[in-house]
Amino acid sequence: MKNDKLKRNELPTFAPDCFPSGALVTDPSRIITYVNAYFTTELLWQSGELIGKSADILFTQSSRIFFQSYLIPTLLHEKVCEEMQLIIFNAQGQRIPITVNASISKDGCIYWSFFNASKRDQLYEELIKTREELEEQAEQLKSLASTDELTSLLNRREMKYRSTLVLEQAARSRQSIALLILDIDHFKKINDTFGHLEGDNVLKQLGQLLKAFGRQTDLISRFGGEEFLLMLPDTSKSDTLLFCQRLHKLIKQIKVGDSALKASIGVSISTDKVSFTDLFSQADNALYKAKTLGRNRTEVYVKN
Partner 1 sequence: MLNANEILNRNNVKLIGKGSKTLFLAHGFGCDQNMWRFLTPELAKNFTIVLFDYVGSGSSDISQYSKKRYGQLEGYAEDIIEICEALQLTDAVFIGHSVSSIIGAIAAIEKPKLFSKLIMICPSPCFLNFPPEYLGGFDKEDLQELLNLMDKNYIGWANYLAPLVMGTTSSDELIGELSGSFCSTDPVIAKNFAAATFLSDYRYLLKEIKQPTLIFQSQNDALAATSVGEFIASEIMSSELNVIAADGHCLHMTHPEALMNSIIAYAKKSS
Report the interface residues with partner 1, using CB under 8 A.
60-63, 65-66, 68-70, 72-74, 76-77, 84-87, 108, 121, 124, 128, 135, 139, 166, 169, 172-173, 217, 233
- Angstrom distance (rounded) from CA 73 to CA 191: 71
Judge whether 83 counts as a catalytic residue: no
Rounded CA separation 132/225 (Å): 36
Taking the C-alpha atoms of residue 52 and residue 61, their distance in angstroms, rounded to an integer, is 20
Residue 154 CB, shortest distance to partner 1, in Å, is 14
Q: At 257, which amino acid appears?
A: G
Q: How far is the CB of 165 from partner 1 (least distance, A)?
A: 9
Exposed / middle / buried, residue 81 (Cβ in 10 Å: 0-12, 13-18, 19+): buried
Catalytic pick among 83, 132, 226, 299: 226
Distance separating alpha carbons of residues 260 and 154, to the nearest angstrom: 25
Residue type, 278: D
What Cα–Cα distance (Å) separates residue 69 from each residue in 63, 121, 136, 232, 294?
10, 21, 31, 49, 73
Instruction: Please tell me the number of Cα atoms within 13 Å of 186 on its side-chain side.
Output: 13
CA distance linking residue 74 with residue 102, whole number of Å = 10
Smaller CB separation from partner 1, 74 or 236: 74
> Nearer to partner 1 by C-beta: 161 or 288?
161
Torsion of CA 210, 213, 214, 215, to 10 degrees: 160
**SS3 of 50, please?**
coil
- Residue 108: CB minimum distance to partner 1, A: 8
* Residue 62 Cβ vs partner 1, minimum distance, rounded to whole Å: 4
Q: Indicate the residue among 61 and 304 with the shorter CB distance to partner 1.
A: 61
If the CB atoms of residues 71 and 265 are measured against partner 1, the closer one turns out to be: 71
- Residue with Cβ nearer partner 1 (128 or 293): 128
Closest to 166 measured CA to CA, from 105, 221, 247: 221
Asked if residues 86 and 66 have their Cβ atoms less than 8 Å apart, the reply is yes
Report the nearest approach of partner 1 to the CB of residue 65 (Å).
6
* Closest distance of CB 290 from partner 1, Å: 29
Closest to partner 1 by CB, 85 vs 113, is 85
| Residues with a known catalytic role | 226
